[in-house]
Structure 1
Amino acid sequence: MGFVSLAGCGLPRSGPTKSEIFAGSVLQEGDAFVVSVNSRVTRATAVTPAFGFSSGFRNAGVMGSDTIAAGDRLSITVFENVKDDPLLGNTGQRVTPLEEVQVDGQGFIFIPYAGRIKAAGQTPEGLRDAITRKLDTQTPDPQVTVTRLAGDGSTVSVSGSVAAQGVYPIERPTRTLTAMIAKAGGVAIEPEAALVRVTRGNSSGQVWLTDLYANPKNDIPLRPGDQIVVERDTRAFTALGATGSQTRVPFETQTLSAVEAIASVGGLNTNWADPTGVFVLRNEPAEIANEVLGRSDLRGDQRMIYVLDLTQPTGMFEARDFLVRDGDTLLVTEAPYTQWTKALAAINGTASGAAAIDTLAGG
């Protein structure tokens, strides 16, 4: 009588039993749909985040590396064909360097004796011709060179999980996304868990780092003012019950199967776990829930409990193919005998304690 009473009381355990979870199903007037995982269910629930860049990003075209923009810096040198009285230099100085000429916010530069000249939108060659025409009427046969130095007008910012955050100029070697990330020292986290987001004005797009390198279409041309952020995937699931550890676990790869999720927390606890009672709990969108259940009347998110039986001939294959998603709860129930083992241990402990008390009292 005492054993039955002890077994029925609240012994310590890691979570609900398999029978208690089934008792919460809609068929038992509960509020969750309990579904056994098979290949059809696996296909219906195999939803992964779809990332990528819009056509506006992909079709922008590589920016001309020699196009001058407002904020750029220019190196300009004027060679004059006179010896005694040059226009720009001192007496006897035929070569006049104009270093670090800044293109102003309106796209103009100022050259002595030539005045303000529109530079933004021109190539160095076009600007050279414009300066030459302005000076030609004042000094005989001037020779002008113009070199574009990347400046504030042609830069992007790179931040997040990269080796060297900062503002970088768009130059000939760094006109695309992958080249600019390499310029910033590459990513500082595991590539499989890295997302790359680009914000351009009011538009934004993101892509997995591995997809960026695997698909050349994702290596978009950059534009001045782009903001590039490399960040770790924020998805995670929660592991509870008779597993190696009970914790919140971040995703380390783009996709994560139930088997991989179990392995990431140390596998099933060999002393407690019930391999027939592995559950994945989630709030499923109505369109997926309807497909899984063969219905069309459900509206809004539905509480779903997916059941994996690892003892079945195909159980391990189903667990290998079934994808865990962001926010899921992975629950491994305890084997039925575990509670009896705990009850017996409690009884033995109680009996030992009573014997010790009798011994002390008799002494």
Structure 2
Amino acid sequence: MLGLGSVLSVSACGLPRSGPKISEIRAGTRLKQNPSFVVPVDERVARAATLDVAYAFPNAFLKVGKMGSDTINPGDTLVIQVWENVDQGVMGSRGAPTTLQNTQVDGEGYIYLPYAGRMKAADNTPDQLRALITDKLSAQTPNPQVQVDRTAGDGATISIMGEIGGQGVYAIERPTRTLAAMIARAGGVSVTPEIARITLTRGKQSGSIWLKDLYDNPANDIALRPGDVILLEKDTRTFTALGATGQAQVPFPKPRLSALEALAVVGGLQTSLADPKGVFVFREETAAISNAVLGRTDLTAPQQLAYVLDLTRPNGMFIARSFQMRDGDTIYVTEAPYVQWTKILAVLTGSATSANSLSSIASGA
């Protein structure tokens, strides 16, 4: 017959469980070395612990206007045609145009034209350059007629790469002078839009935004400039779920994720195991946030904080909905106290059954 001594013996041994109990976590606050802090989360703590990852383009990007659709840039290629009104012109004969194909604008923005010499082409429109060439040639041949056509060249391109339908180098043309239009031209993002992040580098400056912010705020649809590099990448932030819930390392499904949403992502609390009073979020906080959360001013180093959410409180669900998760967080749900007793009873029942079986076997021998 199994008595109280057996129960105590079984409870003393190491029964299987999904992690530490609430009392064991709280015991960490009493350690003299590497102590942690258990912080019950209320509205104030939820606000103090919020640290949004703010992505934004520099003001210099936002203030730039759209490029003129016909502006000539260094690296562009031009097609220049000249008609002369004399039988023996300097470049050709009457009625037959002289065509200069693939005239390259050099790195300093200049071109060279026979009988006209070297002249500045960059920052001019084709019509402005036509007037310059006409004026130069007029000293060599009477009343020349000039036509200038610009084709997109190396100087008016951007590079786009990453999680995009078509990586490559694209010309800035009339329909693709802004960020959103260029992303669409390159085939759109190849990952879930909610977790797509855009980084644009221009010279020594760079800035990032969420793809969603591009469509929600028209100001983020910035004008492009030659040489821009656009990187589309998937959000790499994750959190870890342990205990009486779904157990996994989980990527963030959207830019902002609350503790309540994190629980939902992993399947919620296991009704047969979870203690809704013991939902913990483990995080290493900066000294500044630790002081704000704990109401102190003396902390100077990062601290290990265990935020505890009690979903049984009247506003517990609302607080869990306002408490924001961060990259690297661990969300842990403790087991309900009765679960251990259930396991003990299962062991005792199994032990009694085994003992009875052995006794029956011995009696029949």
TM-score (norm 1): 0.92
Q: Which residue of the partner structure matches residue 20 of structure 2?
A: 16
Aligned residues of 1:23 and 1:30 also touching (Cα < 8 A): no
Shifted more, 137-146 versus 309-318: the winner is 137-146
Residue 309 of structure 1 aligns to which amino acid in structure 2?
D
In the alignment, the residues of structure 2 paired with residue 56 and residue 30 of structure 1 have an alpha-carbon distance, to the nearest angstrom, of 45
AA aligned to 1:344 is: L
Q: Aligned residue for 1:88?
A: 91
In structure 1, the partner of 2:154 is: 152
Aligned to 2:203: 201
Tell me if the contact between 1:86 and 1:93 (Cα under 8 Å) persists in the aligned partners.
no
- 8 Å CA contact 1:69, 1:120 repeated in 2: yes
Q: Which ranges of structure 1 fall in alignment gaps of 5 or more residues?
A: none
Kindly provide the amino acid, as one letter, of the partner of residue 88 in structure 1: M
Partner residue of 2:323? 322
Q: Quick check: 226-235 or 213-222, which moved more?
A: 213-222
- Structure 1 residue 157: Cα displacement: 0.6
- Provide the residue aligned with 2:238 in structure 1: 236
Distance 2:88 2:194 in 1: 66
The residue correspondences of 1:215-230 to structure 2 (distance < 5 A) are: 215-230=217-232
CA distance in structure 2 between the partners assigned to 1:307 and 1:139 by the alignment: 87
Equivalent residue runs for 1:66-215 within 5 Å: 66-82=70-86, 84-89=87-92, 94-215=96-217
Deviations 1:173-195 (A, max 9, x none): 22222221122122222222111
**Separation (CA, whole Å) in 1 of partners of 2:114 and 2:361:** 108
SS in 2 for 1:261: helix
**In the alignment, does 2:29 pair up with 1:25?**
yes
CA distance, structure 2, for counterparts of residue 324 and residue 358 of structure 1: 56
Contact 2:85 2:94 in 1 (8 A): no
In the TM superposition, residue 251 of structure 1 has moved relative to its aligned partner by 0.9
CA root-mean-square deviation: 2.2
Give CA-to-partner distance per residue, 1:190-209, whole Å, 9 cap, x none.
22211111111111111111
Residue 295 of structure 2 is matched in structure 1 by 294
Residue of structure 2 in register with 1:337 after alignment? 338
Unaligned runs of 5+ in 2: none
CA contact (8 A) 2:83 2:145 kept: yes
Residue 39 of structure 2 corresponds to residue 35 of structure 1:
yes
Letter in 1 for 2:8: V
Distance 1:95 1:346 in 2: 100
Q: Which amino acid aligns with 1:131?
A: I
2: distance between equivalents of 1:298 and 1:259?
29
Aligned-partner Cα distance in 2 for 1:256–1:62: 35
Aligned length: 360
Change (3 A) 1:263 1:28: farther
Q: Deviations over 1:217-236 (max 9, x none)?
A: 22222211111111112211
Displaced runs of 4+ in structure 1, greater than 6 A? 27-30
Equivalent residue number for residue 2 of structure 1: 6
SS in structure 2 at match of 1:239: strand
Amino acid in structure 1 at the alignment position of 2:91: L
Tell me, what secondary structure is at the counterpart of 1:156?
strand
Q: Please state how far the C-alpha of 1:360 moved relative to its aligned partner.
A: 5.5
Rounded to whole Å, the distance in 2 between the matches of 1:17 and 1:134 is: 88
| Alpha-carbon separation, structure 2, partners of 1:11 and 1:65 | 73
Q: Secondary structure at the match of 2:300?
A: coil
How far residue 253 of structure 1 moved from its aligned partner, in angstroms, is 1.2
**In the alignment, is the contact (CA less than 8 A) between 1:284 and 1:304 conserved in 2?**
yes
Per mean C-alpha deviation after superposition, the further-off stretch among 1-10 and 97-106 is: 97-106
Partner of 1:54: 58
Aligned partner of residue 7 in structure 1, secondary structure = helix
1:74-121 CA distance string (max 9 Å, x none): 122222224x545434x6761233333221223222333434333223
**Alignment-mate amino acid for residue 323 of structure 1:** Q
- Cα offset for 1:167? 0.8
1:172 partner letter: R
Matched, 1:260 2:250: no
Q: 1:37 to 1:92 in 2, by over 3 A?
A: same
Identity of matched residues, %: 57
CA separation in 2, counterparts of 1:251 and 1:137?
A: 69
- Structure-1 separation of matches of 2:358 and 2:122: 95
